[in-house]
Structure 1
Amino acid sequence: MSTKSESFNNGSKPSRRSNLYLIGPQCSGKTTLLNALRALYSDHDPAFQDIDKPFIIEEAARLIMQEEGFQATDLCDSVRGLELQMRILRRQDQTEEQMRDRWFFADRSPLDTLVYAKEYTGPDALKTLAQTEEWARSRSRMQRATVVVCEAGNVEWLSADSVRIAYQNASEWKALNGAFFDLLRECGIRYSVLSYGIKDLGQRVALVSRFLENDKSSLYVEPVPL
C-alpha cells in the first residue's frame, strides 16, 4: 500500500487503503475494537482530509439470528446449521459487493461461516459453503485485505446468550483460535494475530492501525483447495 505522502503525488486521487477484517472466536473483543477504530478513523488528520472514512460492516451473524429466529444451538444441527451459515455468507457477500468501491472495516468475515460450519455443523456443510460463488468472491477479497485474528483467551470476556455458544470450558473456546488459523492457511489468506495478552484497548487499536498502515499481514501461505 502506498504511504500517505505517496498517495498524493502529482495531485492524483489517493489510493484506497486496504480493507480490514476483524475475525476470531466469539468474545475476543472484535466489536469493541471495531467501535474504537471507527472513532479513530472518522477523525482524520486535516492534512489528509481527502482520504475517505471507512464504511463499517456490522456483524451479520447476530443480525440474521435475531431477525430470523436462529439460536446458537442450531449450529450443531446439520440442516439448520448449514442454513444459518449460508444466509450469513450471502448477506456478508452482498454487503461487500455493494461496498466494492468503498474502503471498509468488517466485524467478522465470510470465512467465519466456514470455520463455524466445520467445527460445529460438519464437513459436508463446510464443503457446501466452500463451493459457492459467494465464497469464491469473498476469498478473493480477503486475500487482498488486512485480516486480523483477535485471539480468544481472556476468560473474563467470555459470555453466552441466545446467539453465542455456551462453552463447557475455556479450553474448547480457545481451541477455536487454531480452527481460524488452519482455515486461513488452507485458503491462502494472509493474517496477523492480535494476542489475547494485549488487553488494553488503546494498545489494541494502535497495533491494528499499524497493520493497516503497513498493509501487510504477518503470514502468507500458498492456497490449497478445500
Structure 2
Amino acid sequence: MSDFDSKQMSESSKPIHRRNVYIIGAQCTGKTTLAKALLERLQQLSSEAFLPDSSAPEPIPRSQHDDTPPPLYTPDLASPEPLLITELARQIIRDNPIATSDIRDSPALSLQLQTSILKAQHAIEAYLHHSSQPKWYLSDRSGLDPLIYTSLLIPPPAYVNLLASSEWDECKEYMREGLVIVCESGVSWLVDDGVRLMPVDAEEWKALHDQFVKVLGEEGIPHTVLPKEVVALEERVDFVLNCLREDRTGETGRD
C-alpha cells in the first residue's frame, strides 16, 4: 500500500465537522459540480461519521421573529442537511436579464448586479444562521464573489464601498467560521454557457484566482486552495472531506 493510500485511509477514519462549506473561486472551475457531489457524498454517510451535534455552534439570536419568511432563493428548508445554496448569480441574472457584455461594458449595470448578488447571498446566510435551529449548508459561492468581480471590472470607489457594507461584514464572519475552499483556475473544462461571465484569456482567469486569494488574506479569512491538478471529481470531493475531518484552517496550496 502506498503512503498516499495509507494517508487516505487514516483521514477517512476521522469524524467530519459540521462546518458550513464555501466552494469559491473564478468562474468555470467546477464549483457547482463539486458542491453537488459533496452534498451527495455527505448525505450518504451515516451519523457516526460526524462529530456529535453538540459540537455545532450555538444559534445566533434573530433580531426579528422566527416566523419571518425565508428570503428569495433560499434552498428548500425541508431538504436533508446540509442544504445547498447554488447557482445564485445565475438565478439573479435570469430573473433580472443582463447581457454578459453589459457586465464588462456598463459599470452601472455591473455594480447593480454585483450588489444584488451580495445582498441575496447575505440574506440567505443570515436567515440560515439566525434561525432558532441553525441550518448546516454548502454554497458554491460566497459574499466575497461580487466583491472580487467589482474590484476587477468596476472603477473605484465601488469595491471600497462594497467592502465597507454591513452585508459583507456579516458574510465575512460567516466565512471565518466555515470552511472556505478556493478552486484554482486553469482547469480543462472552461465552457461558455451564455450566462456566466467568461474570462478574456488565461491571464485574466488566473488574475481572478489570485484576487480571491489576496482578498481572503487581507480580510483574515482562512482558506484552502484546491489545486487545478486535482481533476477527478471523486478526488476533489475527498479533498474537501479531508479538510472537514481535519477542521483545517489557514491557507494551503498543493500539499
TM-score (norm 2): 0.76
| Larger helix fraction of residues | 1
SS of residue paired to 2:244: helix
Hey, what does 2:175 align to over in structure 1? 142
Hey, what does 1:127 align to over in structure 2? 160
Q: Which moved more, 1:157-166 or 1:137-146?
A: 157-166
Q: Give runs of aligned pairs for residues 60-79 of structure 1, distance below 5 A.
A: 60-76=88-104, 77-79=106-108
Identity across the alignment (%): 34
Q: In the TM superposition, what whole-angstrom CA distance separates every residue of 1:170-204 from its partner, at most 9, and x where no partner exists? A: 22212211010111011110000000011011110
Q: Which moved more, 1:75-84 or 1:138-147?
A: 75-84
Distance 1:163 1:109 in 2: 18
Hey, what does 2:69 align to over in structure 1? none
Distance 1:75 1:93 in 2: 21
Hey, what does 1:102 align to over in structure 2? 135
Hey, what does 1:192 align to over in structure 2? 224
Q: In the TM superposition, what whole-angstrom CA distance separates every residue of 1:134-187 from its partner, at most 9, and x where no partner exists? A: 111101111111000001102x31122332223332222122110101110111
SS of residue paired to 2:84: strand
Letter in structure 2 aligned against 1:196: K
Hey, what does 1:44 align to over in structure 2? 45
Q: Give the aligned CA root-mean-square deviation in angstroms.
A: 2.1
Deviation at 1:48, TM superposition (A): 5.4
Letter in structure 2 aligned against 1:113: P
- What stretches of structure 2 of length at least 5 have no aligned partner? 1-13, 54-79
Distance 2:48 2:172 in 1: 34
Hey, what does 1:93 align to over in structure 2? 122
Distance 1:166 1:57 in 2: 22
Does the aligned pair in 2 maintain the 1:192–1:217 contact within 8 Å? yes
Hey, what does 1:8 align to over in structure 2? none
TM-score (norm 1): 0.85
Name the count of aligned residue pairs.
Answer: 207
- What stretches of structure 1 of length at least 5 have no aligned partner? 6-15, 221-226
2:86 to 39, 50, 58: 58
Distance 2:245 2:15 in 1: 9
Distance 1:65 1:46 in 2: 38
SS of residue paired to 1:69: coil
1:114 partnered with 2:147? yes
Does the aligned pair in 2 maintain the 1:75–1:121 contact within 8 Å? no
Q: After the TM superposition, list the runs of 4 or more consecutive aligned residues in structure 1 that deviate by more than 3 angstroms.
A: 46-52
Hey, what does 2:197 align to over in structure 1? 165
Hey, what does 1:11 align to over in structure 2? none
Does the aligned pair in 2 maintain the 1:78–1:125 contact within 8 Å? no
Letter in structure 1 aligned against 2:226: L
